[in-house]
Copies of this chain bind each other. A is one copy, B any other.
Amino acid sequence: MQTKGRLIVISGPSGAGKSTIVFKAIEGRDDMCFSTSVTSRSPRPGEVDGREYFFIDRERFQQMIADDELLEHAEYVGNYYGTPRKFVEDKLAAGVSVFLDIEVQGARQVSEKMPEAIKIFVITPSLEELRRRLVKRGTDSPEAIEGRLRRAREEYAEADFYDYIIVNDKVEVAAAELQAILTAENCKYSSRKHWLENA
């Protein structure tokens, strides 16, 4: 039986370690992948088109919105971010689970379109710790960091529709929790009731 993949939405402030945790979870697996988003922002040093994001200009992005080619999209700090619908639907149909790294606004859109998506919110143990990580990362100006912290506070207040919260204190523990969530979701009654029906 070909099992359909699961859609897993991962949100949380930039700097909380979302990508690191997900990459640990999908490492070496061909039944899970990271969705590649499209964005209108410029690549950061080291970012590769088609790996971190598909980098496109604002005009092309607006055309994708108009043509309903995006599962969700949002504007964030002046740039567009979105999820190509076809990429996700093809993977799920092929039995591959797809991780979406999107912010709260987009997660809510996906949740409404695909209520069966697993929604996980990743945070640092405190906003003070988030500030330390952003400073250490060194990719944002002090003003941009304050903006991210402000945005984090706003997102925390809107996060009540997530299924799970992972507090990324130690990355190994956080990655293990992500794995446990995926395992537990596979054990859910709704995912396994066919075992009772075909016993």
Known contacts A180-B180, A184-B181: A167-B189 contact under CB 8 Å: no
Contact present for A189 and B162 (CB under 8 Å): yes
- Set of chain B residues within 8 Å of A192, measured between Cβ atoms: 164-165, 167
The answer, yes or no, to whether A123 is at the interface (CB within 8 Å) is yes
Known contacts A167-B192, A192-B165: A123-B177 contact under CB 8 Å: no
- Set of chain B residues within 8 Å of A165, measured between Cβ atoms: 187-189, 191-193, 195-196
Interface size class of A (residues with CB under 8 A): 35 or more
Known contacts A180-B179, A183-B180, A184-B180: A195-B163 contact under CB 8 Å: no
Q: How far is the CA of A125 from the CA of B193 in the complex (A)?
A: 12
Centre residue among A153, A166, A189 by max chain B CB count within 10 A? A189
Interface string of A156-197 (1 = CB under 8 A from B): 110110111111000000001101110111011101110111
Q: How far is the CA of A196 from the CA of B165 in the complex (A)?
A: 9
Interface of chain A: mostly helix, strand, loop or mixed: helix
Partner of A195, one of B157, B167, B193: B167
Interface string of A33-56 (1 = CB under 8 A from B): 000000000000000000000000
Q: How far is the CA of A153 from the CA of B185 in the complex (A)?
A: 25
Chain B nearest CB from A187 CB (Å) reads 4
Partner of A189, one of B152, B153, B160: B160
The answer, yes or no, to whether A199 is at the interface (CB within 8 Å) is yes
- Set of chain B residues within 8 Å of A199, measured between Cβ atoms: 123, 126-127, 152-153, 156
Residues of A within 8 A of B (CB): 121, 123, 125-127, 152-153, 156-157, 159-160, 162-167, 176-177, 179-181, 183-185, 187-189, 191-193, 195-197, 199
